[in-house]
Amino acid sequence: MNKQKQSLITNNQLISLGFLVSSFFIIHSCVHDPLLDPYSLNEGEFNTPGCVYSGEVCFESSVLPIFISSCTQSKCHDAATHEGGFVLTNYTNIVRKGIVPGNANESKLYKVLFGSGEDRMPPDGSLTQAQKDSIKAWINQGAKNTVNCNCSCDPNQFTYTVTIKPLLATQCVGCHKPGSLSGNVDLSTYTFVNTQVANGKLLGTVSHSAGFTSMPPGSKLSNCQIRQITNWINAGAINN
């Protein structure tokens, strides 16, 4: 009887020990890199109205579209794949890791933009210098969630070189260029852009018109930006 009781105690202890060990590994496996608190970066709020601060880079219109267009394709840094542990689909995920607010040169998400070979990001082609500069300035300014900051947009300014080309480069070209032809659409040059103008798809997609695939994915250009594209097309969509 005593031996049987002793055996039961021993078995129970082993079961408990096994549970503790399993729990340790489960908990340990769920440990993530520390999440930067968006509220601490935005003076106690989740976001910062961009128009209040003159000269600051707007995260919502100038930085987030770069990450979404160039980094969140399938099998890269979307929510399903999260390559390397990075999800770059929204502000909270972007500042989760790889960002050192106030110091772009120490931020992994900035440094990888200058990699080469397998370390180059995006792997299908480098960002433009202007895009790199926007990300650098945003990080150095504190990596704030600046929103509603398209205040300086002028719908009457719509030349291709100054307005339309940079707009498409930030919002669209990451998914629509050689090596990454989403929907078999190329927007990397004026000639290809003009093709999409002629068939009506450029304006149809960015204005989210019925019968067209809404672009950019998961977001929409501001009314002013759509008006700029509309005015450019109505003026002949010339390469000016």
User: How is the chain split into domains, by residue range?
Assistant: 38-147, 160-234
Instruction: Please give the share of the chain, as a percent, with pLDDT higher than 90.
Output: 37
- DSSP letter assigned to residue 80: T
Report how far residue 103's alpha carbon sits from residue 113's, in angstroms, rounded to the nearest whole number: 15
Query: What's residue 75's pLDDT?
Result: 62
pLDDT at residue 51, as a whole number = 67
231 versus 31: the higher-pLDDT residue is 231
pLDDT higher than 80, residue 53: no
Cα separation of 230 and 221, whole Å?
Answer: 12
Predicted local confidence at residue 230, as pLDDT: 97
For 29, other C-beta atoms within 10 Å of its C-beta total: 7
State how far the alpha carbon of 32 is from the alpha carbons of 81, 106, 150, 186, in Å. Answer: 16, 20, 35, 38
182 pLDDT tier (thresholds 50, 70, 90): confident
Average pLDDT over residues 182-187: 91
For residue 97, the model assigns a pLDDT of: 84
Phi, psi at 87, each rounded to 5°: -115, 120
Q: Is the dihedral of CA 220, 223, 227, 228 positive or negative?
A: negative
- Classified as helix, coil or strand, 19 is helix
Task: Provide mean pLDDT across the span 149-162.
Answer: 87
pLDDT above 70 for 14 = no
Residue tagged 């990075």 (tokens): 86
Residue 19 phi/psi, 5-degree rounding, is -65, -40
pLDDT higher than threshold 80 for residue 207: yes
Percentage of the chain exceeding pLDDT 70? 77
Per-residue confidence (pLDDT) for residue 67, from 0 to 100: 87
Query: What confidence tier does 30 reach under pLDDT thresholds 50, 70, 90?
Result: very low
CA–CA distance from 159 to each of 105, 128, 235 (Å)?
Answer: 34, 19, 10
Radius of gyration over alpha carbons of the chain, in Å? 24
Looking at per-residue confidence, does 5 or 159 come out higher?
159
Cβ–Cβ under 8 Å, residues 98 and 109 = yes
Sign of dihedral through CA atoms 93, 98, 100, 101? negative
Q: Which residues contact 45 (CB under 8 A, 6 or more apart)?
A: 39
Nearest-angstrom CA–CA distance, 74 and 77: 7
Q: Give residue 82's pLDDT band: very low, low, confident or very high (50, 70, 90).
A: low
Cis peptide before 216 (omega within 30 of 0): yes
Average per-residue pLDDT in the chain? 80
Selection from 81-95, 112-126, 148-162 with the highest mean pLDDT: 148-162
pLDDT in tens, 70-81: 887 756 776 665
